[in-house]
Structure formats: C-alpha cells, structure tokens
Structure 1
Amino acid sequence: MKLKLSAALLAASLPLSSIAFAQGTAPADVAVINACLKTAEETGGFGGACVGLVADPCIKKAEGVNDDVAKWKACAARELAIWTQKTNEALKKVEAGGFADKIKAVKDSQKTFAASRDRFCAVFDKVESGMYRGDANYCRLRETANRALSLIKLSAAVNEH
C-alpha cells in the first residue's frame, strides 16, 4: 500500500512527457550515467559531473550551420528520462529506510517539485535558443538531475544500517 501511494504521488508530480521518457531509457545511456555515479560514490562526490553526459554530446552533434533546436530538445529529453528514473529509484529507497519524518518531508516536497521546476524552466523556451541548448528540456534535465542526486544521497543516509 505504501509503495502504491508513493508511486501515485510521484506520477502526479511528474509531467506526462517525463513519465513516458522514463519508460524508454536506452541501456547504453543509463550505463554512462551509472558508471559516473559509481565513480562519484566511490570518491565521496555528489555526482554533479554526471549531469549532461548523455545530452551534451548529443547536442554537440546537432550543432552547426543548421542548428536543430528540435534535436537539442530531444537530446535533453533523452537524458531527462534517465534522471527521472533515478529520482523514482531514489524515492523508493528513501521510503525503504523507514524513517516516517523523512519520508513525509520528501513526499511533501515532491508534491510541488515538478510544478515549480516546470514553471521555472518554461522561461527557457521563450529566450534565444542558443542560450541554453535544449531550452526548457535541458533546464528540466538539470533540475531533475540535481533533485535525483540529493535523493540518492538521502537514500544512502537513511539506509546505512
């Protein structure tokens, strides 16, 4: 019951596009992020250097004389799917820790996270597309990745023993 409730809360907090992308992550892309996160964990790092490892090379390939903004957005969405998946996994691990106060705090904040992120990131669709390759999708990717990284750290902390 608890897991069903958590899944429902998470699904409600994520835009439909993120949920759809999360279901179709490419194994090779996930492996790139996972390898980076493993290195970060082994060295005590946060994992911030892992953000953009899939989207940035993809965007770089789409740059040139005929910059293709739609491709940039697709590249960002591709990595956003991975970080959305990482967020889902970390939320389950936080809940598995069994600390009611921490679970409540995370659930409460998740209720507003996606809406806040999406309102903020939408502004990048209204500025020069070269300012932030991938526009709002890249913003959502970075915001979601940072959220996932924090949840990963929290999940490790509440499951230490």
Structure 2
Amino acid sequence: MKFKLAAVILVASLPFASMASAKSTVSSDVAKIDACLKKSEETGGFGGACVGLVADPCIKAALGVSDDVAAWRSCAAFELAIWTRKMDEALKMVQNGGFPDKIKAVKDAQATFAASRDRFCAVFDTVEPGMYRGDANYCRMRETANRALSLIKLGAAVNEH
C-alpha cells in the first residue's frame, strides 16, 4: 500500500488526462473493481459497494502519513480514471445494442454529464478539507461511478437478446 500511495503522489503532478491514463493501467486495482462488479451482478445488485474500493484504502493510507489533501485528491483521481474507462466501455455496449432511441437519449444525456458533474463537484473544493476527503475529485469519482453503473445495466439490457 505504501508503494501505491507513493505512486499516486508521484503522478499527482501530472496533468489530469495524463494522470488518468497512467493510473487506470494498474491492473490489480481494475481487477478489484471488476471482481466486485461481477459479484454484484451475480447477486442482482447495482454495484454501489464497488465505488471507493481503490480510493478509500489509498486515502486511509495517506491519513496515516499526513493530512495531505493533494494525496487524497490523487487517490480519488486514481479511481476516477478506472470508472471513466468503465463508463466509456458501457457507452459502447449501449451503442452496440442497436436501439436508436436509447442511443440518442444516452448521447444527449452524456453531452452535458461531465459539465454538470464538474460544476456540482467543484463546491467540494471550497469546503473544509476532510469533510469529503479528496474534495471535488472524490465527488467526480462517485458521480462518474454511479453513471457508469447505470450505463452498465443499460448496456446489459439492450444486449440481452
């Protein structure tokens, strides 16, 4: 865990897009979320318990070192990259379903999703650090994960037959 925290802190100085792509390649973290999603699917769950599986232990480890808000933000950005990739994969599944009305509805909703999420989540950068560890990044992670989870369900539904 200390190595992972050090890696997160090291890439924290990278631009967000580079950080997201660099961090999303950590296969053990992706596998952890994938296993959780599989278990959730098998039990008919939504997958909400899978959100935070990577960021929360990373933040907890950072708490043991210091109350470094930048490290908390990096931990959340780390998992955000995974959920962003999952959301992109789910969008492809929805498109592969071949239902033009559903594809259009999702495209229309996605056109404003990131901007709406970012406007909402920005407020967490203006409240006392620690109220929402990881600030806006943690919010973006949760919002993106919830959108990905819904799109995963929709993608499965439109590809059932």
1:1-161 to structure 2, matched below 5 A, reads 17=16, 21-22=20-21, 24-25=23-24, 26-64=26-64, 66-161=66-161
Count of aligned pairs: 146
User: Which portions of structure 1, spanning 4 or more consecutive aligned residues, are displaced by more than 3 angstroms?
Assistant: none
> Post-superposition shift, 1:95?
0.1
Matches of 2:16 and 2:89, distance apart in 1: 18
Amino acid at match of 1:88: D
The Cα offsets for residues 70-129 of structure 1, whole Å up to 9 and x where unpaired, read as: 100000000000000000000000000000000000000000000000000000000001
Identity of aligned residues (%): 75
SS in 1 for 2:130: helix
> Post-superposition shift, 1:23?
5.5
Matches of 1:70 and 1:23, distance apart in 2: 17
Matches of 2:98 and 2:54, distance apart in 1: 33
Kept in 2, the 8 Å contact 1:18–1:84? The answer is: no
Task: Give the TM-score of the pair, scaled to structure 2.
Answer: 0.87
Task: Give the TM-score of the pair, scaled to structure 1.
Answer: 0.87
Matches of 1:65 and 1:17, distance apart in 2: 24
Kept in 2, the 8 Å contact 1:83–1:145? The answer is: yes
Counterpart residue number, 1:4: none
SS in 2 for 1:52: coil
> Post-superposition shift, 1:19?
7.3
Counterpart residue number, 1:7: none
Structure 1 unaligned segments of length 5 or more: list them: 1-15
Structure 2 unaligned segments of length 5 or more: list them: 1-14
